Structure 1
Amino acid sequence: MKSLFSNVRGDITGGITAGVVALPLALALGVASGLGPMAGLYGAMAVGFFAALFGGTPSQISGPTGPMVVVLAGLFASLSGNAELIFTAVILAGLIQIAFGFLGIGQYIRLVPYPVISGFMTGIGAIIIILQLGRVFGHEPPSGTIGALSYLPTALADINFATLALSIGTLFIAYKWPAKLGKYIPGALAALVIGTLASLFISVPILGEIPTGLPSLHLPAYDTQSIFLVLEAAVILAILGSIDSLLTSLVADNMTRTRHNSNKELVGQGIGNTVAGLIGGIAGAGATMRTVVNIRSGGKERLSGMIHSLVLLAVILGLSPLASQIPHAVLAGILVKVGLDIVDWSYLKRAHKGPRWDFALMLLVLGLTVFVDLITAVGVGVVLAALAFVRQIAQIQLEQLNNLPENLEDEAENELLKQTKGKVLLFSFGGPLSFGAAADVGHHVRESVKPGSKVLILDFTRVPTMDVSAAMAVETVTTDALSSGRSLYICGANQAVQHVLNSINAKHSETIIFKTRLEALEQALKSTIKNANE
């Protein structure tokens, strides 16, 4: 408990500031999810409190985020607004995240390549903007990205200019709010208040009546026809929430010069989302902007995240009637800013200078995110990135597999090799041998074998590990050498490599094993001299 109260003054300031910043975003994201503004507030309160209490990133502020809301909005459309099933998906997502934490999956989630992260984050930003464009023009567009895009011509043909002006004004205030005033009133909150006051003088759609008081309990529901939709959404929410949270944790680490606990963070996020679903709140994750605001305002420990949630609780208990007057156009303007902030502008500006493959992968993930779904986008992106990496490593491995006639670094070894007069061929493998290079190893060696050679030496001195595919390739090389009347020596293999070779019988009984390359060369020289004398 010592660390909880080690920075009380800074944590109170940071928590209050983060809570004020979170208020308009929670309302807007709740509306965008389809479940209403109070679901956004309940989610922000629950995830923010319990992720801070049990999580592994003390300074992190958690709550509803763009990626999570995009998934929830899609689920809302697919389930025709069945709130109980949606909250069930949120609960399941939380339980999956808890399982991720206990299974130690946090360290693997962070291995998603940056172009994939950039692509789906930019895609999510684009989706949020697309879904709000109809509301900016004064209409209520159909759910779904394709539906919202298809509806745009209709919205453009009948623009409500009062709504449009209110949305643009809100967006302008949120972006241009003076930094000096921002220390006291965040730009998003100022835009929310000013936009709502301005709407009193014009006729635009507002949120309407919002229930007050504490949330009610929502136990998990079950529906045979929708079970797969709910499970799929839960998995997507768990994965995206985990990635989003751990990326924010890295940002917090850089700012506070600390190191977060990935698996503990996932457990905390999971508990927060489970409680959020049980009280009728939307799913959340670590929120980068709110975390940065908290840290810059003095928040360092988990107390700041808990205070941020208490600020939202106070709003829930007393300010709901005021929130009912907020126009949809104002929330749409705030959400457009959220979408623009999620887009990875920093990478887009520099992408043309980097590797073309990475940029192409980012664009592919972006397209799949917007027009297919998030899980497909991330899955395809990770698989393609992994295959590209394996191919790159395979090329390096094959380049390392050199026929070394006269360029050994050790003088004694080099002299022995020269004395064999080309009758001994040495192939040196470099780095971990994997399935990526396995298909070409046999072909590469076969092409390099010269007529008149009597002994092949396979040097594994620089190979720390080997997989079964590579061992099978070695077996092919061994079989080819022995069938052509050549001797085959293996040298420098550590215990791990020897175990893999033995496990699939890659070492034939006629293969001779040596601990060092020098021993193998000495024996090879003796063998060639003996053969020459016979």
Structure 2
Amino acid sequence: MSLASFSAGNLKGDLYGGLTAAVVALPLALAFGVSSGAGAIAGLYGAIFTGFFAAVFGGTPAQVSGPTGPMTVVMAAVYTQYAAIDPVTGPAIAFTVVMLSGLFQMLLGMLRFGQYITQVPFPVISGFMSGIGIIIIMIELGPVLGHESSKSVLMALERLPDQLAAIHWPAVLLALGTLFLVSIWPARYSKIIPAPLLALCVGTLVAMGLTDPLTVDTIGEIPTGFPQWHWPVFEASLVMDMLVSALILAALGAIDSLLTSLVADNMTHTQHHSDKELTGQGLGNMVSGFFGGLPGAGATMRTVVNIRAGGQTPVSGATHAVVLLIVVLGAGSAAEYIPLAVLAGLLIKVGWDIIDWSFIRRLFSAPPFVSFLMLLVLGLTLFVDLITAVGVGVFIANMYTVRQLSEIQLKNFSVYREAESASELSAEERALLSGHQSKTLLYVLRGPVSFAAARGVRQKLVAYSDYNLLILDMTDVPLIGSSTAMVIEELIQQCQESGCELAIAGLQNPVVRTLEKLQVLSQIPENRRFANRLEALKNTVADSSLPPAMEPA
């Protein structure tokens, strides 16, 4: 358990950090709950259960978890999708998806995927985070104008003309006032009263002072008391859709949490445990789903507030959850007067802060590919879905990186035919190469050979013909992948078909193991395997009576 890092000497700081984080989390949890369609109480339940279990069992001591903007965007789509199919069982199915997402996150942690998730390229992260910020702003335009929120960017754009034609000005003024207050509130005063809580209280008091016909929509009745346990509900025809939705939530929650973990590391000068963090977050989401709560992740703003207030151990995250539970048990009814426009104002500020303005300012000065990738992921996030955006972005980024690395690797490879050009060879090696009378190609490979670089090896050989012996010097190759091994097999087969011999020198143990596992090494006779290129040149002679080698395809 993460509580092993508990320090009695920091108990005061942890308790104060947790209390401060809870004050910040309260209005945001209510806002995220309303925005998701599941209700304000679902946001509070999500903050309570993900906050507690992720703190106790997670791998980032000072992190505070709960509903976040990205997770709420996806949950809103999930809740709307299943509620539209069946208004009675749909919500239960949606929370079953939350349970499954938690299970998938736990599996990611147990399978040690945490170390890979944070390796998503920066332009991809920038694109989908900015996309999420814009989505939050767009779907909250409705409540700002005094109408219901939209469920997608396209829906928000379609509704906007009609909403602008029927603006409800009290709602607009409340939303703008909230946005203005949270934007200008000095940071030094936030230690006394956080800006979101102040805006929530002021906005609610102002709304309560309004009289007909200027009244605005409010949250409405909120259940009080301890949440009820809900068993999972499955619909046979929807199982595949449920699994896909759960995977999307799990993947996004993992990325969201681990990015926040990096922020916490930088502030506390510690190192989080990625796999343990995923396990704790997964457990929190699974429990949250059982109690009808929203899915959550590591929340950057709440984590930063917690650390600055003195929180250092999981006690602070657990305290934040307990404080919110006390609010639900005793003061939930007071929240029913909170105007939806005020919550919309808070969420628009959240969306604005999520957008990666730092990168956007560099968009036109950044390398063209980087800017293209960021904009592509941004567009896919807005108009398709988050997982497609991240998947396509990572795939394209990896292909681009592989191409660049293969070009660098190919430049480090050398092909020698004439001894005069072989400056890196010793005098003895050059003399032996001269004795082969230009019938031998010595191909020197260096560094890890990727699949793309191995393909380049074949292409580089196209420029040479009339050779009867090919020596592959792999002395400086520490490892190869299975794809590279298969390319070597293709070279062996091409040499056999063209009457050319192939010898190989300097194989290191990791390379030998890969070639043996794929049964490639056995295709090279033992008398054509050498410890180094000197031995290879000494013990092979290009037979001039053989027909000229065919150019590799």
Q: Same fold per TM (> 0.5)?
A: yes
- Amino acid paired to 1:95: L
| 2:476 counterpart of 1:473 | no
Alignment correspondent of 2:473: 459
Alignment correspondent of 2:6: 4
Alignment correspondent of 2:57: 54
Alignment correspondent of 1:429: 445
Q: How many residues align?
A: 528
1:342 to 343, 349, 354: 354
Superposed displacement of residue 2, structure 1: 6.0
CA contact (8 A) 2:439 2:544 kept: no
Superposed displacement of residue 400, structure 1: 2.6
2:146 to 138, 141, 150: 138
Superposed displacement of residue 321, structure 1: 2.2
Alignment correspondent of 1:498: 512
TM-aligned CA distance change 1:218 to 1:528, over 3 Å: closer
Alignment correspondent of 1:394: 406
Q: Distance in 1 between matches of 2:136 and 2:262?
A: 24
Superposed displacement of residue 332, structure 1: 0.2
Superposed displacement of residue 510, structure 1: 8.4
TM-aligned CA distance change 1:306 to 1:500, over 3 Å: closer
Alignment correspondent of 2:457: 441
- The residue correspondences of 1:291-306 to structure 2 (distance < 5 A) are 291-306=303-318
Deviations 1:393-429 (A, max 9, x none): 2222322332143221655545544565644322111
Alignment correspondent of 1:516: 532
Q: TM-score, normalised by structure 1?
A: 0.93
- The residue correspondences of 1:66-77 to structure 2 (distance < 5 A) are 66-77=69-80
Q: Distance in 2 between matches of 1:47 and 1:107?
A: 22
Q: Distance in 1 between matches of 2:543 and 2:520?
A: 30
Alignment correspondent of 2:17: 14
Alignment correspondent of 2:367: 355
CA contact (8 A) 1:401 1:430 kept: yes
- Amino acid paired to 2:293: G
- Amino acid paired to 1:327: P
Superposed displacement of residue 231, structure 1: 2.0
Alignment correspondent of 2:202: 194
CA contact (8 A) 1:491 1:513 kept: yes
Structure 1 residue runs of 5 or longer lacking an equivalent are none
Alignment correspondent of 1:213: 225
Superposed displacement of residue 115, structure 1: 1.6
- The residue correspondences of 1:156-235 to structure 2 (distance < 5 A) are 156-202=164-210, 203-235=215-247
- Amino acid paired to 2:451: F
Q: Distance in 2 between matches of 1:91 and 1:135?
A: 30
- Amino acid paired to 1:103: L
Give RMSD over aligned pairs. Answer: 2.2
Alignment correspondent of 1:97: 105
Alignment correspondent of 1:45: 48
Q: Distance in 2 between matches of 1:209 and 1:529?
A: 92
TM-aligned CA distance change 1:92 to 1:478, over 3 Å: closer
CA contact (8 A) 1:406 1:418 kept: no
Q: What's the secondary structure of 1:456's corresponding residue?
A: strand
Q: What's the secondary structure of 2:119's corresponding residue?
A: coil
Alignment correspondent of 2:548: none
Deviations 1:357-402 (A, max 9, x none): 1221121111111111112112212222222222222222322332
More displaced 10-residue stretch of structure 1: 280-289 or 3-12? 3-12
Superposed displacement of residue 5, structure 1: 3.2
TM-aligned CA distance change 1:482 to 1:345, over 3 Å: same
Deviations 1:166-185 (A, max 9, x none): 11110111111022211111
Q: What's the secondary structure of 2:442's corresponding residue?
A: strand
TM-aligned CA distance change 1:508 to 1:456, over 3 Å: same
More displaced 10-residue stretch of structure 1: 505-514 or 63-72? 505-514
Alignment correspondent of 2:155: 147
CA contact (8 A) 1:471 1:504 kept: no
Deviations 1:30-82 (A, max 9, x none): 00010111111111011101110111111000000011111111012211253
Q: Distance in 2 between matches of 1:468 and 1:137?
A: 58
Q: Distance in 2 between matches of 1:19 and 1:409?
A: 69
- Amino acid paired to 2:506: G
Q: Distance in 1 between matches of 2:408 and 2:176?
A: 53
| 2:128 counterpart of 1:114 | no
- Amino acid paired to 1:312: L
Deviations 1:142-182 (A, max 9, x none): 43332122101111111112211111110111111022211
Q: Distance in 1 between matches of 2:309 and 2:449?
A: 50
Q: Distance in 2 between matches of 1:275 and 1:170?
A: 33
Q: What's the secondary structure of 1:426's corresponding residue?
A: strand
Deviations 1:261-304 (A, max 9, x none): 11111111111111111111111000011111111111110000
- Amino acid paired to 1:221: V
- The residue correspondences of 1:236-247 to structure 2 (distance < 5 A) are 236-247=248-259
Alignment correspondent of 1:318: 330
Deviations 1:196-244 (A, max 9, x none): 1121233211112212111111111122333333222211111111111
Superposed displacement of residue 435, structure 1: 2.5
More displaced 10-residue stretch of structure 1: 367-376 or 226-235? 226-235
Q: What's the secondary structure of 1:429's corresponding residue?
A: strand
CA contact (8 A) 1:490 1:511 kept: no
Structure 2 residue runs of 5 or longer lacking an equivalent are 546-553
CA contact (8 A) 2:260 2:298 kept: yes
- Amino acid paired to 1:14: G
CA contact (8 A) 1:492 1:517 kept: yes
2:423 to 400, 404, 407: 407
TM-aligned CA distance change 1:311 to 1:22, over 3 Å: same
More displaced 10-residue stretch of structure 1: 211-220 or 294-303? 211-220
CA contact (8 A) 1:472 1:504 kept: no
Superposed displacement of residue 483, structure 1: 4.9
Superposed displacement of residue 477, structure 1: 3.0
Q: Distance in 1 between matches of 2:194 and 2:445?
A: 59
